[in-house]
């Protein structure tokens, strides 16, 4: 009986071993699983057949894929990279030239813009000044025509001497109109000249009379015959004046005294 059991166990072990060998041939086994199978076989008392080294190498050679790590593969891409760099170098140089040309064009456009902006600002200031001067000239020409009205009011005030109550009322009424008219002229910048006792200036005054006198220096304005007016820096009307002159006899007396 014992002999039959041993034979059955041996047959079962051989069957397991053959199945294990078939699995090893169909699927790759790791070293740990192979070692575990050997240990299981040893525990059951079944001798493990030793695989021939040549057969193992043949199996490994048949299953493994070739993988070449020679230095030629590591440096094989270097010539292609150099060729690509040499091919792109002209394009890079062309792009750099275009960038420099665009920079120069942008700088030129900026300079043109700055010059145009400066010219426009000068033109704006010039036209504004011309507009203001033209307005002053038109205003001055209009006011100059109204100055004769002021002269009439002033002559009436100096010549008319009201005697009755009715005349006084009329006198005060037109004098009120005169005052209102003069105030409105002052608001727009019209100012009368004050010339008596001043030195004669041909740009402001018009000498219509000369009077010999020793009381005033030569060229002094003695009397204002017609009032002059200015509008800012513009002379609306020159003042008509009488100017002092040195007496002729004083020159001879001075010469005699000196002798």
Residue 138: its pLDDT value, please? 87
Q: What angle do CA 133, 138, 139 make, to 5 degrees?
A: 95
Among 40-44, 78-82, 157-161, the range with the most confident prediction by mean pLDDT is: 157-161
Per-residue pLDDT tens over the stretch 72-114: 554 555 556 677 777 888 888 889 999 999 999 999 999 999 9
| HEC assignment per residue over the chain | CHHHHHHHHHHHHHHHHHHHHHHHHHCCCCHHHHHHHHHHHHHCCCCCCCCCHHHHHHHHHHHCCCCCCCHHHHCCCHHHHHHHHHHHHHHHHHHHHHHHHHHHHHHHHHHHHHHHHHHHHHHHHHHHHHHHHHHHHHHHHHHHHHHHHHHHHHHHHHHCCCCCHHHHHHHHHHHHHHHHHHHHHHHCCEEECCCCCCECCCCCEEEEEEEECCCCCCCEEEEEEECCEEECCEEEECEEEEEEECCHHHHHHHHHHHC
Instruction: Report the CATH number at residue 199.
Output: 2.30.22.10
At residue 35, does pLDDT exceed 70? no
Looking at residues 16-38, what average pLDDT do you find? 54
Looking at residues 235-241, what average pLDDT do you find? 91
Residue 200: its pLDDT value, please? 92
- Whether the Cβ atoms of residue 187 and residue 214 lie closer than 8 Å to each other: no
At residue 38, does pLDDT exceed 70? no
Per-residue pLDDT tens over the stretch 120-141: 999 999 999 999 888 888 888 8
The answer as to whether 20 is a domain residue is: no
The number of distinct structural domains making up the chain is 1
At residue 64, does pLDDT exceed 60? no
- Whether the Cβ atoms of residue 153 and residue 171 lie closer than 8 Å to each other: no
Residue 136: its pLDDT value, please? 85
For 121-144, letters b (16+ CB in 10 Å) and e give: eeeeeeeeeeeeeeeeeebbeebb
Q: For residues 172 and 65, which has the higher predicted lDDT (pLDDT)?
A: 172
- Whether the Cβ atoms of residue 177 and residue 135 lie closer than 8 Å to each other: no
Q: For residues 160 and 43, which has the higher predicted lDDT (pLDDT)?
A: 160
Per-residue pLDDT tens over the stretch 181-200: 999 999 988 999 988 888 99
> Starting at the edge strand that comes first in sequence, how are the strands of the sheet with 221-226 ordered?
205-212, 239-245, 221-226
The answer as to whether 110 is a domain residue is: no
At residue 62, does pLDDT exceed 70? no
Q: For residues 81 and 202, which has the higher predicted lDDT (pLDDT)?
A: 202
**Residue 52 and residue 58: Cα distance in Å, rounded?**
10
The answer as to whether 119 is a domain residue is: no
What band does 30 get if pLDDT is binned at 50, 70 and 90? very low
At residue 161, does pLDDT exceed 90? no
Containing structural domain, residue 249: 191-258
**Residue 83 and residue 63: Cα distance in Å, rounded?**
39
The answer as to whether 137 is a domain residue is: no
The answer as to whether 233 is a domain residue is: yes
- How high is the mean pLDDT of the chain? 76
At residue 241, does pLDDT exceed 70? yes
The answer as to whether 101 is a domain residue is: no
Could you tell me whether strands 229-231 and 190-192 are parallel, antiparallel, or unpaired per DSSP bridges?
antiparallel
The answer as to whether 80 is a domain residue is: no
The answer as to whether 41 is a domain residue is: no
**Residue 174 and residue 74: Cα distance in Å, rounded?**
118
Per-residue pLDDT tens over the stretch 170-183: 888 888 888 999 99
């Amino acid at each position: 009986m014992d002999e039959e059991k041993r034979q059955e166990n041996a047959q079962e072990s051989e069957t397991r071993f053959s199945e294990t060998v078939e699995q090893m041939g169909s699927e790759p086994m790791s070293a740990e699983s192979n070692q575990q199978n050997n240990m299981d076989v040893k525990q059951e008392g079944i001798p493990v057949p030793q695989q021939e080294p040549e057969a193992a190498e043949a199996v490994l050679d048949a299953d493994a894929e070739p993988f070449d790590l020679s230095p030629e593969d590591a440096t094989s891409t270097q010539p292609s990279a150099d060729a690509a760099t040499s091919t792109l170098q002209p394009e890079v140089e062309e792009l750099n030239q275009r960038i420099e040309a665009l920079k120069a064009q942008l700088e030129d456009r900026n300079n043109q813009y700055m010059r145009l902006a400066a010219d426009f600002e000068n033109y704006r200031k010039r036209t504004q000044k011309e507009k203001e001067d033209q307005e002053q000239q038109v205003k001055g020409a209009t006011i100059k025509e109204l100055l004769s009205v002021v002269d009439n009011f002033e002559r009436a005030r100096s010549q008319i001497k009201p005697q009755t109550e009715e005349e006084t009322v009329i006198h005060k009424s037109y004098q009120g109109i005169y005052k209102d008219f003069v105030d409105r002229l002052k608001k727009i910048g019209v100012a009368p000249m004050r010339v008596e006792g001043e030195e004669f200036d041909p740009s402001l005054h018009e000498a219509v009379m000369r009077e010999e006198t020793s009381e005033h220096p030569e060229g002094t304005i003695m009397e204002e015959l017609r009032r002059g007016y200015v509008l800012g820096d513009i002379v609306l009307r020159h003042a008509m004046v009488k100017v002092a002159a040195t007496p002729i006899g004083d020159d001879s007396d001075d010469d005699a005294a000196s002798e």
